[in-house]
Amino acid sequence: MTVEIKVQPYQKYLMLGVAIAFSGGLIVFGGVLALILVPAGLLAAIMFGLIVGAEVMRQDIEAEMNALRAQYEAASELAYKLNLELTEQVQRAESAERDLLATAAEKTALRAQLEGRAGNSA
């Protein structure tokens, strides 16, 4: 069973810097001098890792913010269109209600006329 650990970008660069500093120190200057250069290499690697990691994190955050802005704009546009459609539906419903009331009034008037004529005929 393997355990997967999410490695941050700056951690990758930190480990790379440590390995390069240690190996370079051992190869170029030898054992004792490498022990002196390793802390300096570690410090440089940490700084490099933090700087590069911060830049990568900034770019990731910027990309996420751009994606969120695009989604927000799309959602706002959709909400606007739905609001327009709802307004149109309400206007149609009110118009249909007015037509229905007018038709009912006309039917009532016609029925009254019909009953009036039926009453005069008898």
The encoded tokens of residue 116 equal 């009036």
- Give the other-Cβ count within 10 Å of 53's Cβ: 17
**Residue 96 CA neighbour count, 13 Å, CB half:** 6
Tell me, what's the pLDDT at 66? 96
How far, in Å, CA of 54 to CA of 32, rounded? 33
pLDDT of residue 52: 87
With beta carbons less than 8 A apart as the criterion, state whether 45 and 21 touch: yes
Residues in the chain: 122
pLDDT of residue 3: 45
44 with 87: CB under 8 angstroms? no
pLDDT tens track for 91-104: 999 999 999 999 99
Q: What digits encode the pLDDT tens for the residues 51-102? A: 888 898 999 999 999 999 999 999 999 999 999 999 999 999 999 999 999 9
Q: Is the pLDDT of residue 46 over 50?
A: yes
pLDDT at 16 over 90: no
What pLDDT, on the 0 to 100 scale, is given for residue 92? 95
Task: With cut-offs at 50, 70 and 90, classify the pLDDT of residue 33.
Answer: low
Q: How far apart are CA 83 and CA 90, in angstroms?
A: 10
